[in-house]
Amino acid sequence: MGEVIVITSGKGGVGKTTTSANLGAGLASLGDKVCLIDADIGLRNLDVVMGLENRIVYDLVDVTSGNCSFRKAMIKDKRFENLFLMPAAQTKDKTAVSPEQMRALTEEIKSEFDYVIIDCPAGIEQGFRNAISGANQAIVVTTPEVSAVRDADRIIGLLEKEDLREPKLVINRMRYQMVKHGDMMSIDDIIDILAVDLLGVVPDDEQVVISTNRGEMVVMNDSSRSGQAYRNIVRRIKGEDIPMMNLEEEGGFFRKLRQIIGLK
């Protein structure tokens, strides 16, 4: 019986879909059988982020309305032995699926997978209700901005009301240099405010944009810091005790670089 993890945030644009794709790919690369569900009906994006947009035949609404089996709608990612995507419908809206249908679907899928990861839409309306209804764990994604942290706080409250207790936090697009200069909230600032457990911090990284442009996942990029951050998060999900990345590393490296340039 697999774990069903919902990736949510409240606010849009903080990196839910990118996080979903990378955690899914990262878990699959470690040998787990993973199904990613795009619950953002009407605004599907997980397919393009993963580079699978040309292979969609059936979607989530086809499955919940009984047009086809979930196995038929799922797209197998050819790059990963164990990675599957259940795409969202693009022409319907969020009311095309009910929380009960989603619960029944995830119940069915999780019996055949190690992890079911649900990419939740932004907002707190029905799309959110649908996405969380079948989940037994939640990961909240935020960025170090007042709007994103405020929405994360609201979402954490709503998750707890729905009995998804102890959600884990991923802080995305962290810029350590800005924190150092007093221009961005630090990891500790955000954890203090939200009072939740930290699952990981992903540094702001151009490589994420570059990978996404190509329909690839940065978690497979061995030389990128964001890829390393995602790999660490994946191992923490699997229960390993991985220390947080050294924050001074980046500053140290650039400081050294600047010193070298300065000497020349």
- Which residues are annotated as part of the binding site? 11-18
Cα torsion at 188, 190, 195, 200 (round to 10°)?
Answer: -80
Q: What is the largest CA-CA distance in the chain?
A: 69
Between 31 and 157, name the residue whose CB sits nearer to other proteins: 157
CB of 70 to other proteins, least distance (A): 38
CB of 146 to other proteins, least distance (A): 5
CB of 250 to other proteins, least distance (A): 15
- Could you tell me which stretch among 4-12, 87-95, 175-183, 239-247 binds other proteins (CB under 8 A)? 175-183
Q: Give the residue numbers of the binding site for ATP.
A: 11-18
Between 88 and 179, name the residue whose CB sits nearer to other proteins: 179
Please pick, from the candidates 81, 93, 189, 197, the single residue that binds other proteins as defined by CB under 8 A.
189
| Interior/surface letters 1-36, b for 16+ CB within 10 angstroms, e for the rest | ebbbbbbbbbbeebbbbbbbbbbbbbbbbeebbbbb
CB of 193 to other proteins, least distance (A): 6
What is the residue type of 178?
A: M
Between 12 and 251, name the residue whose CB sits nearer to other proteins: 251
Q: Which of residues 100-159 bind other proteins (CB under 8 A)?
A: 145-146, 149-150, 153-154, 157
Other CB atoms within a 10 A radius of the CB of residue 187 amount to: 17
Count helices and strands in the chain by DSSP H and E runs: 12, 8
Q: How far apart are CA 262 and CA 264, in angstroms?
A: 5
Please give the backbone phi and psi of residue 164, each rounded to the nearest 5 degrees, phi first. -95, 80
Asked if 183 touches other proteins (CB under 8 A), the answer is: yes
Other CB atoms within a 10 A radius of the CB of residue 164 amount to: 20
Between 150 and 168, name the residue whose CB sits nearer to other proteins: 150
Q: Is 222 helix (H, G, I), strand (E, B) or coil?
A: coil
Between 2 and 123, name the residue whose CB sits nearer to other proteins: 123
CB of 105 to other proteins, least distance (A): 32
Interface contacts to other proteins, rule CB under 8 A: 145-146, 149-150, 153-154, 157, 179-186, 189, 193
